[in-house]
Each structure stands twice: as structure tokens, then as C-alpha cells.
Structure 1
Amino acid sequence: MAAVLDAGSVRHFEELLQKSDKSLLVVHFWAPWAPQCAQMNDVMVELAKVHPEVTFVKLEAEAIPEVSEKYEITSVPTFLFFKSSQKIDRLDGAHAPELTKRVQRHASNTAFPAAPNSTPKEDLKVRLKKLINVAPCMLFMKGSPQEPRCGFSRQIIGILNKHNIQFSSFDILSDEEVRQGLKTFSNWPTYPQLYVNGELIGGLDIVKEMEASGELDTMCPKAQSLEDRLKALINKAPVVLFMKGNKQVAKCGFSRQILEILNNTGVGYDTFDILEDEEVRQGLKTYSNWPTYPQLYVKGELIGGLDIVKEMKESGELVSVLKGGQ
């Protein structure tokens, strides 16, 4: 199956679950207001091309609450993996490399009988080109960045992390066809192999040389530090509210109350759902020295939580403070 299906109802979802039989079914619980979900939907489309034997489904979490509640979906994006109608795995958050890895692993554990009228297998060269272009910096290695399975892979991961380089990876032990095919495709007989913008850079020795010359820092994209990311988030709009949920659906009583207060001021504001991103959720507490949510920011400065906003409303200064941020 080479497309991402849309489960529009509880009945439709259950039908898809039953039809999956022993094949792998991957369900993306998403929301239209979350940009991470849109990105992961694009990733699903690409994965569907590479894995036509897997059924990929997207399900709008808030539109079908019966299914979301059944599987304890509290944030989006969340991915559930099913075989024979049974849940076998779960992935929370927008982690494209990890999603790719789990799809590869679970799909490889399933035996698929050849269908007489099945779609011809995608050309290996086409598949390899897609894989090396999954991310600007792509590492083909043994194992994963969290669990490298050879010394060379462990060393190259250490170098990339040391230089704060943003990269995705592919475990060549999970796919023998890719493992052998990439050697011929790139005329490079060993692993790991590092690609930048779809072009082979080389293996561990080459990366070591580039590190020594300083070229590695200029060639590969840098991962944004948590501090820089938090600064960008609190400054993405003049007024930003970090809360549980969003403007349409608050997911805690405190967030709901602060939304009502802000909506009555007539001042525009943006929100960030801290349930979507555990790194931001924990990091912002330390960054701003404020242990609870919601948190309201104006011009990048912390105003406070619900109690502070209530006090400012009662004193009559809330609107002027908010408008000072516009």
C-alpha cells in the first residue's frame, strides 16, 4: 500500500485494524493545529513509498476521542504500531529517524506472502537515493545513535555529537538489501558512511580528517541548543503562552482559566503546547526558574502563571502589559 490512509471514524479505524491481519499497521494520532504533525505526515508519505507492504494511517486525535482515550493518547504526534489487531509498540513525539527505524524493524519481522497482482518492488537505486536524502546530514551505521553496534559507528557518533551536528541515521543491520546495495551505489565498501545533501562524504577516517581541519563544522548543519530553542520559542510572538493544550482545547483547568482571561483582553497571543515536547516542558522550568504551567511571556520576558495573571487583571494592569508587547 503506497499511500497514507485517513481514518475518519471509529468504525473506519476498526475496519483498518481488522484488515491489517498479520501485516504492520502504523497509526499517526495527529492534530491540524500542530506543525510537528504536518511534518510527520510528510514523513509517513515517504515511508509509505519505501514500505508499500505496511499500512500507514493518520487519525485526528481530537476528532475521534473514543479511539484516543482507548489508547491513552494525551499529546500529538503519537504513533501506535499494530500487528494482528494488537498494539505492539508506541512512539510519542516528532522523531522522524526513530519512526523510520521502528517501521523498518517491525516490518522486517513480518513475513509477507507474494500477492499475484502486487505492485512491483521499488527499484533499489531509487530507494537508496531517497534514503540518503531523508535529511541534510545522513549517517548509515550499525545500530542507532543511542545504541551503536560497532566501534567505528560509536566513534563517528561521538564526533558528530561533540560538534553538535544535526543528523539522521539508518541502521544498515536492519536491511541487508540496503547494506549491500549502498556499497555498490556509492562505491564505498565499509560502514559507517556519512552523506551531506545527498553526497557521500566518507567514513570514520574522512570524518576525523574533516574534524581536524575544521571543515566538519562548516559543512554539516548544527543542531540548535536547547537554550537557543527556548529563546526562539518565547520570542516567536510578542505574547506567548506555554500551556497544556492550545487555544481551541485546553488540557488542564489552569490553562483553561488563563485562556479565558487572555481572550477577554482582546490582545493577540500565540500558544505552545508543552505536552507535545518533553524537552521544552522540562527545560523551560529551569530556564525561567518557574516550576509550573501555564507560563506567560511578553517580549521574551516571563510575566508569570495563572495567579500572577489574575492579580494583574484585578489590578487593571494586564491589558497595558500585554499591549506593551505589541
Structure 2
Amino acid sequence: MAKVLEATNRQQFEDFLAKAGKNLAVVHFQAAWAPQCGQMNEVMAELAKEHAHATFVKLEAENVPEVSEKYDISSVPTFILFKGGEKVDRLDGAHAAELTKKVQGLAGSGSPQGGADGGDLNQRLKKLINAAPCMLFMKGSTQEPRCGFSRQMVALLKEHSVQFSTFDILSDEEVRQGLKAYSNWPTYPQLYVNGELVGGLDIVKELAESGELETTCPKAVTLEHRLKTIINRSPVMLFMKGNKEAARCGFSRQILEVLNTAGVDFDTFDILQDEEVRQGLKTYSNWPTYPQLYVKGELIGGLDIVKELKESGELESVLRGES
């Protein structure tokens, strides 16, 4: 198959696995709001072109909870790899190079190991270096660095909110030795941005101290930025339990009834579907309960305030941003 399929329910997911048969199937448990998932979908699309006999599927983790729970999905992106309908491997996080390596190994194609000539190895290194906008070649992973320099590098990038993928050079001796010659850089970790070598730990430290690291590397989306984006998704945004069609608590149901009589369009966000937003918005807005109503990015309040505005006749003008 030459494209990434999308499973929107459990039956579709099971059908895609069944059609894959004994061939490899790669399932990306994703979230539309997470930029790293979008980045990894691009990686999936490229892998789909290279491995025509494999099946590549993306699945919105929160929308198909029974499948996510079955495979213990606690964060996105997460990748589960199947053969013959059985799970054979797993990858947690946006590690493009690691995913590429796993797919190449399980799909039975890709660059040969050990016996590749220099040209083949260089092509493979180029693909790994360009697997993500910011690639860190290190010992171990972000969760488990295997040396002090790698540990310091990961901590530094995280401290400066850099969005990056990693490749564990301890898992591939050919890459470990080949990259030293390819980049003319004898030690690890090595950081690449947009396919170009930035350097090792000392250089990244210097960039951080000079304030240049933020402009050199792509930044991860912070929770605050994400909250602002959601709040401003519509001129009138209601954060509630449930949605317009099915409120999941009495307070949310009551505020919907009031807003529906105001004759002003509004959008909703179900805080039960996103624990990060549910907890983060309380701190961001300094408002400990739900529902919460925002107009043009500004907090109006909860149910009691909306009721007061309705009784005073001010609600419609407030919703239109006129007062």
C-alpha cells in the first residue's frame, strides 16, 4: 500500500490488521492536537512508499479507547507493529529514526546490514539524519540515556523546549561508526537540524548560553501555547464535560441550555477527553471548576456568572464581545 490508512473505530482497525495478513502492519496511535504526531505521520507516509507490502494505519487514540486500552496506550505518539495480527514490537514517542529501523527490519527490506558498501551506508545515514527536523544521535534514548554526555544533552534540549527525535547508536554499530566518518565528528552525542550537523554537547551548551539554541532548533509546543490555541479556536469557546449533543454533568447541561437561547454561535471542548487540558486550564485561568466560558480569548466565568449575565440582559452583548 502506498498511503497511510485511517481507522476511526475498532472494526476498521481489526479489518486493516486482517487484510495485512502475515505482512507487517504499523499502527500509529495519535492525537490531532499533537504536532509531533503530524510529523510522524509524514515519516509514516515516506515509509509507506518504500514498503509497499506493509500496511500503515493511523488511529486517533482518544476516539477508539477500547483499542488504546487493549495496547496500554498512555501517551502519543505510540506505534504498535503487528505481523499476522499479533503484536511484535512497540515504540513510544516521536523517534523517527528508530521507527524507520524497526520497519526496515520487520518488513524484510531496506539497507542491508554489515555488507553494505559506502554508497548504501551514506544513503542510509542521510535518511536517518533527515528523519526529523531535529535529530539527536545518542547513547540510549530520551527515557534512558546510556552515558553522561547524552543525559546532559537530553536535559538541555528539554530545558529549552526543543522538539527532537533520537537514534540510539548503541543499537546499530554500522551507524555508530559510519556517522563519525560521514560527519567528520568523532564523538557522541551529535545533533543535526534540517539535515546539517550542529555539533556535540559543548557546542549545544554554547548555543544555549548565547541564546541561539531557540532559533537554531525547532521548539516543542508548550501546554500554555496549546491552551491558548484551543481557547481561541472560536470567538466563543466553552470548556465542559461532554459536548453540545451530550453534556456529561448537570452544570454543563445547564450552561448549554442558557447559551443555546442566546442566539450566538459557540464551540465546545470536552475536558473529559484530555486530562492535560483539564488540569492545565485550571492553573492557566486560575479558575478551579468547569464549565468555563471564554469570549475572544478572555475568561468570562462559569455557570453562575453566565446565569447572572442572562438575568441582567448582558449575556448576548458579552458573547458578541461588545462589553
Same fold (TM over 0.5): yes
- Maintained 8 Å contact 1:143/1:149: yes
| 1:144-183 mapped onto 2 (5 Å cutoff) | 144-183=141-180
Counterpart of 2:288 (choices 291, 300, 315) is: 291
Spell out, residue by residue over 1:120-174, the C-alpha distance to the aligned partner (whole angstroms, 9 max, x if none).
6596544543433344332221222232111110111232233343333333334
What residue identity is the alignment partner of 2:188? Y
Q: Could you tell me how far apart the structure 2 residues matched to 1:44 and 1:321 are?
A: 45
Q: Could you tell me how far apart the structure 1 residues matched to 2:278 and 2:124 are?
A: 37
| 1:114-193 mapped onto 2 (5 Å cutoff) | 121=111, 124-193=121-190
Q: Could you tell me how far apart the structure 1 residues matched to 2:242 and 2:51 are?
A: 33
Q: Could you tell me how far apart the structure 1 residues matched to 2:142 and 2:22 are?
A: 30
Asked if residue 26 in structure 1 is aligned to residue 26 in structure 2, the reply is: yes
Counterpart of 1:252 (choices 224, 248, 256) is: 248
Change (3 A) 1:224 1:128: same
Identity %: 65
Residue 197 of structure 2 aligns with which residue?
200
Asked if residue 81 in structure 1 is aligned to residue 80 in structure 2, the reply is: yes
What residue identity is the alignment partner of 1:188? W
Spell out, residue by residue over 1:229-286, the C-alpha distance to the aligned partner (whole angstroms, 9 max, x if none).
4345434543222345666x65734556645543443323344454565433321111
Q: Secondary structure at the match of 1:242?
A: strand
| Structure 1: gaps spanning 5 or more residues | none
Counterpart of 1:318 (choices 315, 319, 322) is: 315
Counterpart of 1:238 (choices 213, 230, 235) is: 235
Q: Could you tell me how far apart the structure 2 residues matched to 1:51 and 1:180 are?
A: 27
Q: Could you tell me how far apart the structure 1 residues matched to 2:19 and 2:93 are?
A: 26
Q: Could you tell me how far apart the structure 2 residues matched to 1:76 and 1:273 are?
A: 18
The TM-score normalised by the length of structure 1 is: 0.71
Change (3 A) 1:17 1:225: closer
Q: Could you tell me how far apart the structure 1 residues matched to 2:260 and 2:22 are?
A: 49
| Structure 2: gaps spanning 5 or more residues | 113-119
Deviation at 1:322, TM superposition (A): 0.4
Spell out, residue by residue over 1:3-43, the C-alpha distance to the aligned partner (whole angstroms, 9 max, x if none).
32345776654343235456653334678x86867665434
Q: Secondary structure at the match of 1:56?
A: strand
Change (3 A) 1:318 1:192: same
